[in-house]
């Protein structure tokens, strides 16, 4: 194998997906994800079950990532892992595994911030995908986070707005729960929204100062609305499901776009990248495309496989830090509330 090639293994275990990926010079050779079906019947992630499932999955997932990449463990130049933020029991599994592997292979260990990884996923080499120039604004929208971040270079990031309560993914998932949809409900709401009328029902947008978000009021408004309608028509949900989903999605996308407009105005930066599970949403993707035409923004939307939690995004941060020899040592610890 040519010595020019740099192989990085990324390991992600912050929530309910066990994932491993191998990158060669920033290009994906393998991207393996084991989803944990065990949480579906509880309507949300159960931390103890997630941790146990990570323990069962981690060895086969890493093994598969190495095999699919067509390399052997000894070809690796570094092992990168998610240090946080996330669920402690979940993070511990990936962290301990990565530490042992790096130690055993005598290669550098590299700690990665999960939220930074959602942003730097845009730097994975992929045909047809352009990388944003600096500075740009990143909106990270997932099940655990909602932030607007000013990105001045790979490692200089400033949070300029964030949610004061629920994350946007939770707004999708909790609304879905009210409607009797499975967990996580985001993808199902998205699918149904495409078939419904976004203006069928109107939900009030929260009023939050500056660049911060709030989603808990919306969830309550949806709950009361549905309860009221069900009193009059017990079949209300079944008869209007697509319209309800379209209206919820329209409202949420509107909230996100309103804040982005303020952020562009305040910073003078009109390069916008999105990341995190909710960036898979067709409504936000369409709204950003429209903003390109309407306001002249330059928008960056990740490939689908890099939107929800994955290890390729961990490995790309690993690669960028490897190039700067920015390594961790064996005393590093998983950190549930790691800041950006």
47 binds ligand KG4 (CB under 6 A): no
308 binds ligand KG4 (CB under 6 A): yes
Closest by Cα among 228, 281, 279 to 250: 281
* Residue 26 to residue 23: CA distance in whole angstroms: 5
* Residue 71 to residue 77: CA distance in whole angstroms: 12
143 binds ligand KG4 (CB under 6 A): yes
Residues that bind Zn ion (CB under 5 A): 142, 309
Closest by Cα among 288, 311, 268 to 139: 288
Q: How far is CA 215 from CA 139, 198, 243, 246, in A?
A: 16, 18, 20, 17
Q: Which stretch binds ligand KG4 (CB under 6 A): 27-35, 97-105, 184-192, 238-246?
A: 184-192
Work out which of 173, 177, 247, 299 binds ligand KG4, going by CB under 6 A. 173
Site for ligand KG4 in 190-209 (CB under 6 A): 190
Choice between 108 and 169, CB closer to ligand KG4: 169
Q: Which stretch binds ligand KG4 (CB under 6 A): 22-30, 49-57, 185-193, 205-213?
A: 185-193
Residue linked to tokens 């660049």: 211
* Residue 5 to residue 23: CA distance in whole angstroms: 10
The partner in contact with residue 193, picked from Zn ion, ligand KG4, none with C-beta cut-offs of 5 to 8 angstroms by kind, is none
Choice between 71 and 272, CB closer to ligand KG4: 272
Alpha-carbon torsion, ordered 45, 250, 221, 273, to 10 deg: 50
Site for ligand KG4 in 269-288 (CB under 6 A): 276-278, 280-281
Where on the chain is the footprint of ligand KG4 (CB under 6 A)?
Answer: 15, 142-144, 169, 172-173, 184-187, 190, 276-278, 280-281, 308-309
């Amino acid at each position: 194998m040519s010595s020019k090639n740099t192989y990085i293994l990324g390991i992600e275990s912050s929530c309910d997906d066990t994932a491993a990926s191998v990158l060669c010079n920033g290009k994906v050779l393998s991207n393996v994800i084991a989803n944990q079906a065990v949480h579906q019947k509880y309507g949300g992630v159960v931390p103890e079950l997630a941790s146990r499932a990570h323990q069962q999955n981690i060895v086969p997932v890493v093994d598969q990532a190495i095999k699919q990449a067509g390399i052997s463990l000894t070809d690796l130049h570094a092992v990168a892992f998610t240090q946080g933020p996330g669920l402690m029991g979940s993070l511990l599994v990936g962290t301990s595994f990565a530490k042992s592997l790096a130690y055993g292979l005598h290669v550098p260990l590299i700690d990665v911030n999960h939220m930074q990884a959602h942003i730097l996923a845009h730097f994975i080499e992929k045909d047809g995908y352009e990388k944003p120039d600096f500075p740009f604004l990143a909106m990270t929208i997932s099940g655990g986070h909602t932030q607007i971040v000013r990105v001045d270079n790979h490692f200089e990031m400033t949070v300029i707005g964030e949610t004061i309560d629920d994350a946007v993914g939770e707004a999708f998932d909790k609304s879905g729960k009210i409607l009797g949809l499975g967990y996580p409900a985001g993808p199902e709401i998205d699918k149904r929204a495409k078939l419904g009328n976004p203006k069928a029902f109107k939900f009030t947008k929260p009023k939050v100062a500056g660049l911060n978000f709030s989603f808990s009021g919306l969830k309550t408004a949806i709950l009361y609305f549905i309860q009221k309608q069900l009193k009059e028509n017990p079949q209300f949900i079944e008869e209007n499901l697509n319209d309800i989903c379209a209206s919820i999605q329209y409202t949420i996308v509107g909230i996100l776009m309103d804040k982005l407009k303020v952020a562009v105005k305040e910073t003078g930066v009109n390069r916008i990248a999105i990341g995190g599970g909710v960036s898979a949403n067709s409504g936000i993707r369409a709204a950003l495309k429209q903003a390109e035409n309407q306001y002249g923004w330059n928008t960056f939307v990740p490939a689908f496989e890099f939107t929800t939690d994955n290890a390729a995004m961990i490995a790309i941060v690993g690669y960028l830090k490897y190039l700067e020899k920015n390594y961790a040592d064996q005393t590093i610890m998983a950190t549930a509330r790691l800041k950006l």
